[in-house]
Structure 1
Amino acid sequence: MNAIVPPGEPHQSIPQAAYADVRAALLARREIALLDVREEDPHARAHPLFAANLPLARIELDAYARLPRRDASIVTIDDGEGLAEVAARRLLGLGYTDVRVFKGGVAAWRDAGGELFRDVNVPSKSFGELVEARRHTPSLAAEEVQALIDGKADVVVVDVRRFDEYQTMNIPGSTSVPGAELVLRIAELAPDPATQVIVNCAGRTRSIIGTQSLVNAGLPNPVAALRNGTIGWTLAGQALEKGAARRFPEVSDAVLAQARQRARSVADRAGVRRTSLAEIGDWRRQQGRTTYFFDVRTPEEYEAGHLPGFLSVPGGQLVQETEMVAPVRGARIVLADSDGVRADMTASWLAQMAWEVHVVDGVGADELGERGAGRADEAPVPVVQRLSAEGLSHRLAAGEDIVVIDFTTHANYLKRHVPGAWWALRSQLAEALARIPKAARYVLTCGSSRLARYVVPEVEALVDGEVWLLDGGNAAWFAAGLPEEGGESRLASPPIDRYRRPYEGTDNAREAMQAYLDWEFGLVAQLGRDGTHHFEVI
């Protein structure tokens, strides 16, 4: 029996949870993971505030990292598609013991009076709006910033998104300084206290948090967010730069010492707790408490050396996407860095977002003994028949009756795929197979084969032909220099695995960008109606 099949009777009942149960846990700050197991696009259309998106298709890959305690309270939710029960059984099969299905799905949440939110990363975005509303975070309109640049004013523009987002499009002349790096590095970019610092992201949240970070840290410079980010810049009819590569500088000992002092002061005001390497060793063995361990430095620094058992989550993205990596609301979060700045600043925001957050003190180079990118545990892999890229190529060329089914992301499929391959969603497998021609042999693939290997037994149960795995996935096929094609010529499922964000890319409709901003402006009122957040802005 493979790992994706839950133990026990196939029709044993799964306990159910109601709106009152989940709300009571959130209000009491008890640990609970409310998991929206739909694909990202339907999740983004409507979901409860703290419903973390963990698509059914990825449970074997992501559950052990995102749900580290096997007896944590878990509630799966969908919108009546039946995915929540399948996900619950899959989680039980992975060893989780306290799993319930939300009765009636998203519609029942709404009917019970629960607030529903749109978009993704909503806890963080709504918190950002609350910060601006409470602290009146300074900002400048796109036209005002353009005027400063055109007038050659003493101004520095810093982009606090991920570097890959920055490279897609950025404010002309700006420098990439992802959020958690700001307090550490800004004095190197703007050593003169008279220099105006402008902080931008694509929309609002990260620029608000970045600007307020500098204000909270007591930076002497005038600081302002670029109001509405690159969306506001575009709506003002101003041109964006593409392909820029300007990155933050290294810091001197003097700048580091000052940044460390500023960050610690902010962390103390926010109620961040301190911990030691010895204490976190005890927490790893603790029963009945979920603890996440995150290294908030850059991925490059993490790979060069990190604390054992810590996962790489750069601090700016951790604040922006908290529920994506820590879906157990009410859990403990432990942060580490090597400088005493980035962990404290990141923790200061998490504490205000009502997390119990600790920073590890005394981390030296000797403790950063693990190397490499690191990878969390995954579910046991079923035994499957494998076919090499070259072997598949030969069989296709010989005209064998083979259908290739690709479970990569829709975006990756569009870019390139094995010629003739069909694209499908695992969460809609039966429907997809009904659209795909029958064959003597099916070969399943994805980017690396990590996801597709779990789908093999499921396809075997639904078809008459043999089912094989493309060993190494699409990456092996492309690395072998074999033919490829692009486009969406063979879609067996609707492309709903990713929500199209109105602030990403350079080809979004003006109406969509303005609608997104209007939605963000209404988040504070939604927080008030929801009433479960416990956010406290210092």
Structure 2
Amino acid sequence: MVNLFIDVNSASKAFGEWVEHFKHTPSLSAEEVQAKIDQQENVLIVDARRFDEYHTMNIPGSISVPGAELVLRTPHLVKDKNTTIIVNCAGRTRSIIGTQSLVNAQIGHQVYALRNGTIGWTLANQTLEHGQKRRYEDYVDTSKIDEIAIQRAKSVADQAGVKYISIDELEQLQVDTGRTTYLFDVRSEDEYISGHLPNSRWVAGGQLVQETDHYAATRGARIVLIDNMLVRAYMTASWLAQMNWDVFVLVGDFQADLTETGAWRPTTAKIENEIQYIDVHQLYASLEDSFIIDVSALAAYKKGHIPTAHWALKADLARIIQTTDLSSYKRIVLTCRSSLLAQYGVKEIEEFTQLPIKVLKGGTLAWQAIGFGLDQNSSLLSEEIDRYKRPYEGTDNSREAMQAYLDWEFGLVDQLKKDATHGFYVI
């Protein structure tokens, strides 16, 4: 029987609940953790989310250690052998997976998940910190190879049935067009930028487990993980294998193959129509008679956009052009953060207007880089529906929404028990 799971990252979140249900992952309530802080007990609180989430709000005194880094970094952050480790996230999944990772790797400390994360902390009327910058990189030597951590992580990966692959075998998989192969680099982004395998995509290992549907859309595909220190790949792979993915870790001497530098760039569809560009100086000189539409994410637009620019969903461009009085303008200018998305909007509107359609070369980032100012006054031409805001993001969520989100997670195990297709197991 197939069950319908409604929300984003549903498979990953359901898996997290499955793990806790069968492994009885140890946890503490927000009140119990606050008591330990108040009593100045020997505890280390590590935040398994992305750093930007941690920076927005965090448990007092905690350090940012994204999920896949926990087994590699946490043993070097504890005060002594008696330190109790507490893992938190915003809700439940990354706390559960992070805590169980440390338990599975047998690191020799008491480990607990903060039950219900920052949501539970907020619902308990306890105070969060904001704007903190404590990161594991500030406290440990990130270049040092940890052989003990490698052994621990390898043992977990073996138990989960993870497979291993050489660089030559990887090349054979990549030329196999009969099946999708994803190649993910699960180190830190800085490590990826300094040198990575061509055609690999960076994603923090913990986020890959948390948001598998975002990164690996083809169910049943092969997933190959890269980490020259191995620990992060082993631990990430152990969870993906238990989620029923066909997962491999790249092993062997491949350091010399990490030849590509820079941030990951997605492969984009070919733009068939001819694009006319306008540079930032030209646009600056013609702001008054340019109808500017910014198709960036709304959150990016609100942080700062070109003066007079309106925000719109790319999907609404044709409707907007057909229903807007453009008689006082000499051109239409499309922009976004980088100009990439804006380029794809030209074809959608060119048949509905006689005005020249320009794309701002380099987008809003180029405007900002030259020193021109940004505006934060919003002019919205579309509904604010470009992104589903999850109830654990940001600091302005209602208590009802946060509790409803937790209640949804609590019900996922019962849903899984009615579903014969998920293939989850736990070691």
Normalized against structure 2, the TM-score is what? 0.95
For structure 1, the residue ranges without an aligned partner over 5 or more in a row are: 1-112
Q: Give the one of 295, 302, 309 matched to 1:421.
A: 309
Shift in Å at residue 369 of structure 1? 2.1
Deviations 1:18-41 (A, max 9, x none): xxxxxxxxxxxxxxxxxxxxxxxx
Partner of 1:522: 411
SS where residue 103 of structure 2 aligns? helix
**Counterpart of 1:383 in structure 2: which amino acid?**
E
Measured in 2, the distance between the counterparts of 1:519 and 1:251 equals 40
1:390 aligns with 2:278: no
Partner of 2:359: 469
SS where residue 426 of structure 2 aligns? coil
Shift in Å at residue 457 of structure 1? 1.6
Deviates most, 235-244 or 365-374: 365-374
Shift in Å at residue 188 of structure 1? 0.6
Partner of 1:135: 23
Does the Cα contact within 8 Å between 2:105 and 2:153 map onto a contact in 1? yes
Shift in Å at residue 508 of structure 1? 1.3
Does the Cα contact within 8 Å between 2:322 and 2:352 map onto a contact in 1? no
Measured in 1, the distance between the counterparts of 2:82 and 2:48 equals 21
Partner of 1:499: 388
Does the Cα contact within 8 Å between 1:198 and 1:226 map onto a contact in 2? yes
Partner of 2:5: 117
Note the 1:246-265 alignment, pairs <5 A: 246-248=134-136, 249-251=139-141, 256-265=146-155
Shift in Å at residue 483 of structure 1? 4.0
SS where residue 451 of structure 1 aligns? helix
Partner of 1:5: none
The structure-2 alpha-carbon separation of the partners of 1:479 and 1:528, relative to structure 1 and needing over 3 Å to count, comes to same
Measured in 2, the distance between the counterparts of 1:476 and 1:447 equals 8
Note the 1:61-100 alignment, pairs <5 A: none
Measured in 2, the distance between the counterparts of 1:343 and 1:473 equals 36
Deviations 1:484-535 (A, max 9, x none): 32133x2211111111111111121111111111111111222233432111
Measured in 2, the distance between the counterparts of 1:254 and 1:303 equals 19
Does the Cα contact within 8 Å between 2:276 and 2:359 map onto a contact in 1? yes
Shift in Å at residue 253 of structure 1? 9.4
Deviations 1:116-161 (A, max 9, x none): 3333111111110111111111100000001001101111000011
Partner of 1:14: none
The structure-2 alpha-carbon separation of the partners of 1:253 and 1:506, relative to structure 1 and needing over 3 Å to count, comes to closer
Q: Write out the 4+ residue segments of structure 1 that deviate beyond 6 Å after TM superposition.
A: 252-255
CA RMSD of aligned residues (A): 1.8
Deviations 1:353-381 (A, max 9, x none): 00000011114532322222232322223
SS where residue 404 of structure 1 aligns? strand
Q: Give the one of 164, 177, 180 matched to 2:68.
A: 180
Deviations 1:42-72 (A, max 9, x none): xxxxxxxxxxxxxxxxxxxxxxxxxxxxxxx
**Counterpart of 1:358 in structure 2: which amino acid?**
F
SS where residue 332 of structure 2 aligns? strand
Does the Cα contact within 8 Å between 2:186 and 2:225 map onto a contact in 1? yes
Partner of 2:167: 277
Normalized against structure 1, the TM-score is what? 0.76
Deviates most, 364-373 or 192-201: 364-373
Partner of 2:342: 452
Note the 1:112-511 alignment, pairs <5 A: 115-190=3-78, 192-248=80-136, 249-251=139-141, 256-381=146-271, 382-396=273-287, 399-400=288-289, 402-438=290-326, 439-488=329-378, 490-511=379-400
Aligned length: 422
Shift in Å at residue 255 of structure 1? 7.8
Measured in 1, the distance between the counterparts of 2:107 and 2:352 equals 62
Measured in 2, the distance between the counterparts of 1:213 and 1:366 equals 30
Shift in Å at residue 252 of structure 1? 8.5
Shift in Å at residue 435 of structure 1? 4.4
The structure-2 alpha-carbon separation of the partners of 1:300 and 1:255, relative to structure 1 and needing over 3 Å to count, comes to closer
Does the Cα contact within 8 Å between 1:405 and 1:423 map onto a contact in 2? yes
Shift in Å at residue 204 of structure 1? 0.4
